[in-house]
Amino acid sequence: MHSPIPDYLLEVLDACGTDGGAVADYIPELAAADPDRFGICLATVDGTVYSAGNAETTFTIQSMSKPFAYGVALADQGHEAMAEKIDVEPSGEAFNEISLEPGTGRPKNAMINAGAILTHSLVAGDDGIQRTERLREMFSRCAGRELRIDESAFTSEFDTAHRNLGLAHMMKAVGILDCDPVEAVRGYSRQCSIEVTCRDLAMMAATLANAGVQPTTGEQILSRRSVRQMLSVMMTCGMYDAAGDWMTDVGIPAKSGVSGGVIGALPGQVGIAVFSPRLDSHGSSVRGVETFERLSTDMGMHMMEVAHEGRSALRDAFTTDGPDPVTVYQVQGDLRFTGAETVVRAISEAEHTTGRVVLDLTRAYRLNDVGQRMLLEVARRLGLDGIEVAMVDPDHALHGPHVEASGLEMFDHLDAAIAARADR
Ligand code: GLU
């Protein structure tokens, strides 16, 4: 059967093809872009890619490099050191606004140019070339292929970088930028000139959606903590002075670039990239914004759409027949606080007359730390009440030293866990 998803993406291309806006023209490489190019790419967290239109056209990454460079700087400097240099507040201002926090000189966030230039300077490396090489290499691992730098876009960008040089000199003057300001802007301009396609960007975004693990190679490229920080800053500051509109209408952590790309990462689900060069007054792709609005509405992708995880966490609860009955709780899905709470509540409220309880996690896909602790605590308390507890956990949804310390009976099959009682 032919999947309906590519057909749906083609429909979106048709529906979102407005001609409004204008291609960035401050450098010849951007001015030369074909304004009618339009591509969409989705990459799921299991590495499946769907695309439509010009998904293989190359363009420079521009500001979509900012969250990834921030992730690398967080890894190189640590979160605390980064917080001392760069704030995490939405600026409500244009991307190249000249504003630093009075007193500390910190840029408002790492998505506006001041913060992004400072971020670049905090990536490990002796100069702009080394720092960009570190970034190019890391972006390539996220994209799943070797990316290159568009040298002519870099030269044009750097030759006209007067405002960015102004920002860097100002940061040097207030003492927040340590390195040579010209070198920081040279490196930042190179970073913006890394060449990508919609498909590359969708894979990079999917790496964020997948908590830092590249979906096809399985490599943990960024830490979970860094990804959480990157996505938070994308959500609040990624769309500059349109961040509030974006949050309410689209609700997906995102970043746009002046080349016409927009990336979005929906945690746990999908990475999205759209490319079309005509820009609105905020410097974001007109069709890109329209496409994201449409995808979010059609596919229920807004992060504030309420999911009813809790209600479906307990798949079944039953008592086996026979002379030695056992009570079985079957847990399913991705268990976080609300899901675990449903299971914990059902177990806590039940009268256990069977003397043996089996928690079957065969269909539990993943338990976060809170989910694990809550289930282990319930098992411990049942034990204190004199009830035997066994776990069925073939895929090790429960793991770590606290599981071994619990001394729980562990089984790979429900039948074995039930039979273990009858055997004695
Ligand atoms: N290289 C551009 C600049 O810093 C990036 C701007 C953007 O993509 O929004 O001016």
* 258 Cβ closer than 6 Å to some ligand 1 atom: yes
Residue 195, pLDDT > 90, answer yes
Q: Are 281 and 345 within one domain? A: no
Catalytic one of 51, 63, 284, 285: 63
Tens-digit pLDDT profile for residues 19-41: 899 999 999 999 999 999 999 99
Distance, C-alpha 328 to centroid of its chain: 36
Q: What spacing in Å lies between the alpha carbon of 2 and ligand 1's midpoint?
A: 40
Query: Of 268, 299, 330, which one is at a domain's C-terminal end?
Result: 299
Question: Are both 282 and 242 inside the same structural domain?
Answer: yes
Mutate to test the pocket of ligand 1, among 63, 68, 157 (most ligand atoms within 8 A of CB): 63
Do the beta carbons of residue 119 and residue 191 sit within 8 Å?
A: no
Rg, the chain, Cα only: 25
Q: What is the CATH number of the domain that holds 313?
A: 3.30.750.24
Q: Which residue type does 218 have?
A: G
pLDDT digits (tens, 9 = 90+) for 159-181: 999 999 999 999 999 999 999 99
Looking at residue 410, its pLDDT comes to 94
Can you give the residue range of the structural domain that contains 264?
5-299
- Per-residue pLDDT at 252: 97
Q: How far is the CA of 65 from the centre of ligand 1 (A)?
A: 10
- Model pLDDT for residues 36-58, shown as the tens digit of each residue: 999 999 999 999 999 999 999 99
Assess whether the C-beta atom of 57 lies below 6 angstroms from ligand 1: no
Tokens of 192: 């913006």
Instruction: Enter the tokens of residue 18.
Output: 């407005």
Check 51, 65, 91, 240 and give the catalytic one.
240
Indicate if 315 and 166 belong to the same structural domain. no
pLDDT of res. 423 = 58
**Do 276 and 322 fall into the same domain?**
no
pTM of this structure = 0.88
What does the pLDDT look like over 349-380, one tens digit per residue? Answer: 998 888 899 999 999 988 888 889 999 999 99
Helix residue spans in 49-149 (DSSP H): 66-77, 79-85, 113-121, 128-143
Mode of pairing for the β-strands spanning 22-23 and 278-279: antiparallel
Beta bridge partner(s), residue 317: 329
User: Do 259 and 360 fall into the same domain?
Assistant: no
188 and 255 share one domain: yes
Q: Write down the catalytic residue from 66, 85, 108, 255.
A: 66
Q: Of 299, 325, 350, which closes a domain?
A: 299
Residue 351 in any domain: the answer is: yes
Asked if 263 and 158 sit in the same domain, the reply is: yes
Q: Is the pLDDT of residue 401 over 90?
A: no
**Distance in angstroms (rounded) separating the CA atoms of residues 384 and 240:** 55
Give the C-alpha separation, 133 to 154, whole Å: 14
CA distances from residue 84 to 65, 106, 194, 224, 409 in whole angstroms, order as listed: 22, 8, 28, 21, 48
Residue 424: pLDDT band (50, 70, 90) is low
Summarize the confidence of residues 277-297 as an average pLDDT. 95
Does any domain span residue 84?
yes
Active site residue 50: no
Same domain flag for 97 and 56 = yes
Taking residues 278-301, what's their average pLDDT?
Answer: 94
Number of domains composing the chain: 2
Q: What is the pLDDT of residue 70?
A: 98
| Residue that finishes a domain, picked among 251, 271, 299 | 299
Decide: 97 in ligand 1 pocket, CB within 6 A. no
290 and 317 housed in the same domain: no
Residue 262 lies in a domain: yes
Q: Which atom of ligand 1 is nearest to the CA of 113?
A: 4
Q: What is the CATH number of the domain that holds 207?
A: 3.40.710.10
Ligand 1 centroid to Cα of residue 199, in Å, is 21
Same structural domain, 342 and 369: yes
Q: What per-residue confidence (pLDDT) applies to 400? A: 79
- Which listed residue (50, 70, 188, 329) is catalytic? 188
Q: What residues does 363 pair with on adjacent strands?
A: 332
Of 282, 289, 303, 281, the C-alpha closest to 261 is: 289
What's the mean per-residue pLDDT of the chain? 93
